[in-house]
Amino acid sequence: MSIAQRLARPEILALPPIDIAGAPVPGTIRLDANENPYPALVQGQSALNRYPEPQPADLARRMADLYGVDAQNLWVSRGSDDAIDLLMRAFCTAGRDTVGIVEPTFAAYAQFAQIQGAKVAATRLGADFTFDADEVLRFAQTEQPKILFLCTPNNPTGTRIADAAVERLARALPDTLVVADEAYGEFDEAPSLAPLAASIANLVVLRTLSKAYGLAGARIGCAIAAPDIIGLLAKVSPPYPLPEPSIRAALDALGPERMSAHADRIRLILAERARVATALADVAEIRSIREGGNFLFLEVADPEALAKRLAAAAVRVRFRPNAAPGGVRITIGLPAENAALLAVFGVTDGDRPSRRAEIVRDTKETRIVLAVDLDRPEPRRIDSGIAFYDHMLDQVAAHGGFSLTLACSGDLGIDQHHSIEDVAIALGQALKEALGDKRGIGRFGFAMPMDETSAEVLIDLSGRPFAKFDGGFDSETVGGLPTQMVPHIFRSIADSLGAAIHVRVTGDNDHHKVEACFKAFGRALRQGLAIDGASGALPSTKGML
């Protein structure tokens, strides 16, 4: 008898499969679901008149690949909160079964247990919020919980539970579902326990797209477990639990061209977490600081006074007195938001505002994620699908002295035009956004020779778009890049950046001429983007750019 059959509520085991219309099948006339045949009167969401798939197969497969498991081991839920609730409904009988938690931890475990009518038994983390596997094992053997929840990294303390400890508990408690909640797993260096859940019958792993992938509003998560447990979750799940817009948003966010951008965001959040923790280290009112997930957990001397200062500054955090006297959980935000937080503690953030921007541009022809950081030379990772274009953009960033990451998937099988143009537009948009108010910039720039070629690029970051290209090419393509698109690239950047860009190129070798244009453009940008640390003035007599 499987763990699911041993532990599940008998009435759940007796339930027949939910009787609902199946997933839409292309090419069929769908008259089985009592739907309105007319599309919803919502722009860009014409399929909303149809019920979504009860369990979206494409999304389940994508998330299974993401977490390194088979799709049969995964149930897509409305955030990992929903997966917690489904486990309670499937396994906990009101008034009889017990749910085990290790406090302080995520409040939803006890809340859902109480809603289900299950008893809650709790032990606590050790000194300094350490996890004592021996103590938790003794607790579980005494209380015999039907489900034991382990949050790793733990919310709100940031405590990480070693994978070996979770595995040990699961193997030592064969009649308890051991649930490892990895909501913050992407912010932790340790590998996920997800692959192990497929081989340990009573281990369940929870994941979510809310934190690392920025989809809290879409409500997408999952439970990863043995197929018989997944089958029980299917029985207690509502019909059509996932809205079609959320399914599409998740598939878009997990597209291959998006993954490097997610990785960059995670690195930035972790770097900001460390920076904020360091900045707060010497604040007298803070008794302790712990880092974990995408947050900090502080213990402060006077939480009431801090709450008043935070309210006055319109900065919101979570006070957690049940976790520790003066306990405060602070989510890491954008650099400007973190600066506002530090100011509440009397810490002056000496760094100027980040000159970073990220652009997501999706059209019918292209899907683009592009990020720039004007104050860092690295990383530079560029994939437009056109190798020579990648090389030229890398030259722009390298000579411009800024970081550029780009991933573009486009209709190259039809023509290169859309990818070339849309990438140029996105680059201009990102540069414009990163420049912010433009205070202290150089504004103008540059000319350069290259072998027999002379290229001159003059830039004015004026806010007024204008492009002029003086020069021609004898070859139709250079490195697979159509030369007729070169002037168009600079015009597209000028329009979306809001800059005057004048290019003049002469020479005998078309390869050199194209490359010189992009290198000179990078050098012109370097001068125009450079900050004059002494003045910080706006380089305009008009008072605006």
Structure tokens at 140: 């579980």
Least confident of 154-163, 281-290, 449-458, 475-484: 449-458
Domain assignment of residue 328, yes or no: yes
pLDDT digits 0-9 by tens, 339-353: 999 999 999 876 666
Kindly report the backbone phi and psi dihedral angles of residue 147, in degrees, each rounded to the nearest multiple of 5, phi listed first: -130, 135
Structure tokens at 452: 């027999």
β-pair type (477-478, 403-410): unpaired
Q: Which of 364, 368, 498 is nearest to 423 (CA)?
A: 368
- Return the amino acid letter for 59: L
Query: What distance in Å separates the CA atoms of residue 129 and residue 462, rounded to the nearest whole number?
Result: 54
Query: Which DSSP symbol is given to 460?
Result: E
Are 285 and 431 found together in one domain?
Answer: no
| SS3 state at 321 | coil
CB 389 within 8 A of CB 319: no
Are 220 and 335 found together in one domain?
Answer: no
Q: How many domains does the chain have?
A: 3
pLDDT digits 0-9 by tens, 185-232: 999 988 999 999 989 999 999 999 999 999 999 999 999 999 999 999
- Sign for the pseudo-dihedral over CA of 399, 400, 403, 404: negative
Domain boundary among 289, 323, 344: 344
Domain assignment of residue 351, yes or no: no
Domain assignment of residue 36, yes or no: no
End-to-end Cα spacing for the chain: 73
Give the pLDDT score at 106: 96
Give the pLDDT score at 77: 97
Q: Which of 448, 442, 435 is nearest to 460 (CA)?
A: 442
Query: Which DSSP symbol is given to 508?
Result: S
Are 374 and 339 found together in one domain?
Answer: no
Assign residue 275 the CATH number of its domain: 3.90.1150.10
Give the pLDDT score at 541: 46
Query: What distance in Å separates the CA atoms of residue 539 and residue 460, rounded to the nearest whole number?
Result: 11
Assign residue 159 the CATH number of its domain: 3.40.640.10
The residues near 356 (Cβ < 8 Å, ≥ 6 apart) are: 371, 372, 373, 374, 375, 434
Domain assignment of residue 218, yes or no: yes
**Domain span holding position 479:** 356-529
| SS3 state at 266 | helix
Are 503 and 375 found together in one domain?
Answer: yes
Cis peptide before 104 (omega within 30 of 0): yes
Domain assignment of residue 325, yes or no: yes
Are 388 and 460 found together in one domain?
Answer: yes
Are 170 and 102 found together in one domain?
Answer: yes
Q: pLDDT at residue 25 above 80?
A: no
Are 396 and 463 found together in one domain?
Answer: yes
Are 296 and 389 found together in one domain?
Answer: no
Q: pLDDT at residue 152 above 90?
A: yes
Q: pLDDT at residue 283 above 90?
A: yes
pLDDT digits 0-9 by tens, 402-422: 999 999 999 999 989 999 999
Assign residue 368 the CATH number of its domain: 3.30.230.40
Q: pLDDT at residue 78 above 90?
A: yes
- Sign for the pseudo-dihedral over CA of 108, 114, 118, 121: positive
Are 108 and 177 found together in one domain?
Answer: yes
Are 376 and 488 found together in one domain?
Answer: yes
Are 302 and 446 found together in one domain?
Answer: no
Are 414 and 460 found together in one domain?
Answer: yes
Domain boundary among 319, 344, 369: 344
Cis peptide before 490 (omega within 30 of 0): no
State the number of CA atoms in the 13 A half-sphere of 133 facing the CB: 15
Average confidence score pLDDT of the chain: 91
DSSP 380-419: EEEE-S-HHHHHHHHHHHHHHT-EEEEEEEE-TTT-SHHH
Domain assignment of residue 170, yes or no: yes
